[in-house]
Amino acid sequence: MIQFGSGPLEVACAAFPVGPLETRVAVFRQGTLSVGLVNSDYEIFDQGRQALAEALAVPPENILCAVTNNASRAGGWPEQAQRELRKTAERLPALFRRVTVSYGSNTQDDLTFNRKARRKNGASYVVREEDRRKMSRAKLGAIDPLASVVRFDDETGAPVLLLAHFTGRPVVAYNREAPVIDPDYCGYALLELAKSFHPMQPVTSFLQGCSGDVSAKFLGGGVRKAKEMGRKLGKSFVDAALGEHVVDEPVLGYGAATATLRYAPLPALTELESNGSRGKWTEWALGHVRNGVSSPEKECKLQLHAITFGSEVALVFLQGEPFVGIGLTIRERSPFALTIPVSCTNSMEPHFIGQAKDLGDVDWLSAFYQEALKPPYTKPAGDMLSFKALQLLNEMKGQPART
């Protein structure tokens, strides 16, 4: 499914607090095409999409909800916030303004690290924070250091909406023993970005990259450390927001596709019985194999979506927590000048999604299927997400604008 708008591009957006956190809503409209975006620290996938769809009389499939994956949101989504979400959504039809689109990027490679590493014998493991501090950057895996901002200005040149994007799970303020509610470094970066445009008050949103195996440094470093890192990232966002790349013809495009990830058969009975650890996954698998079921599930279907602005900017929205290599592949091979891969959209399922090269690895991230009581993926595994995303982007790039 691919749709294009025609005529002037309009944006309506607003934000409201949920304690110290913030939830943002935005709608892009061009002619008969409207696409909504909900952005929050809370996993309000169904609630957010339903509220926005009803308020705007837009099909639910044209509404996306992308969350930050912030770990510091103790207590869950408050009931009063649901009412505020609906009130905010209902205000949007009166807030539409004609906008122009520009974009920019900066590099910030000092805030995140790849949690997955390999020992000399090739075995994979998850890097703990205390280990990370002792390791050189060269021994750590790939990250996505790009800090990007897509900027929407009204007819006076004032910014209305700033979509900021970076890759790295926000866990700096996280405290397992004493849970806190805190914006973490991504939220503080948005505050820095918004402050740079004072007294204007643009809505600022944080779109999380493919961070399944990429985390912020200083896990559990506390609020003060989260603020310090947020200021660093915020300065990168400010520089990106001042980029001079203007989209001359910002035709709004919206597309969707389905990626099918296939499961491998379960191991043979002898292999399972020889497993000394006999964890819950082994017992689960044994129960199936002893009953003659080697393939309890054949496949997992994942939805992905793309929003494009003209022939230059593309945002790709993915379910779950894909590994960073998936996002890098999409960006590097995309036909658009700036491509932003966004994770944690519409659902956190199936959580961690590795690439074909991660199959067979025993680290907790790659072997999360055991925690979920699922079979392991088979090739091409999560690479199918990048294949389908690139196929969709190339189709959208080749489509003529509807006038």
Q: Are strands 245-246 and 100-107 parallel, antiparallel or unpaired?
A: antiparallel
Which contiguous run of DSSP H or E holds residue 289? Answer: helix 280-290
Q: What's the pLDDT score for residue 80?
A: 86
CB atoms within 10 A of CB 280: 10
Nearest partner of 148 among 213, 216, 233, 225, judged by Cα: 233
How does pLDDT run along the chain (403 residues), one tens digit per residue?
Answer: 899 999 999 999 999 999 899 999 999 999 999 999 999 999 999 999 999 999 999 999 999 999 999 999 987 898 889 999 999 999 999 999 999 999 999 999 999 999 999 999 999 999 999 999 999 887 899 999 999 999 999 999 999 999 999 999 999 999 988 899 999 999 999 999 999 999 999 999 999 999 999 999 999 999 999 999 999 999 999 999 998 899 999 999 999 999 999 999 999 999 999 877 778 999 999 999 999 999 999 999 999 999 999 999 999 999 999 999 999 999 999 999 999 999 999 999 999 999 999 999 999 999 999 999 999 999 999 999 999 999 999 999 986 444 3
Model confidence, pTM: 0.96
Q: Is 130 helix (H, G, I), strand (E, B) or coil?
A: helix
Which helix (DSSP H) or strand (DSSP E) does residue 402 occupy? none
The pLDDT of residue 366 is 97
Contact 239, 196 (CB under 8 A): no
- Taking the C-alpha atoms of residue 203 and residue 25, their distance in angstroms, rounded to an integer, is 9
Q: Cis bond leading into 202, ω under 30°?
A: no
Give the span between the Cα atoms of 63 and 85, in whole angstroms.
14
- For residues 71 and 170, is the Cβ–Cβ distance under 8 A? yes
What residues contact residue 56 under an 8 Å CB cut-off, 6+ apart?
A: 27, 34, 36, 89, 92, 93
Question: Strand order of the sheet with strand 2-4?
Answer: 2-4, 252-262, 299-309, 313-318, 338-342
Give the type of residue at 206. Answer: F
Answer for the pair 109, 133: CB distance below 8 angstroms, yes or no. no
What's the CA gap between 22 and 207, in Å, rounded?
A: 13
Residue 298 in tokens: 């054949």
What pLDDT sits at residue 399? 62
| Triad 153, 159, 164: Cα angle to 5° | 105
E strand or H helix at 282? helix 280-290
The strand pair at 299-309 and 313-318 is best described as antiparallel
Helices (H) and strands (E) in the chain, counts: 10, 21
Q: What pLDDT is recorded for position 403?
A: 31
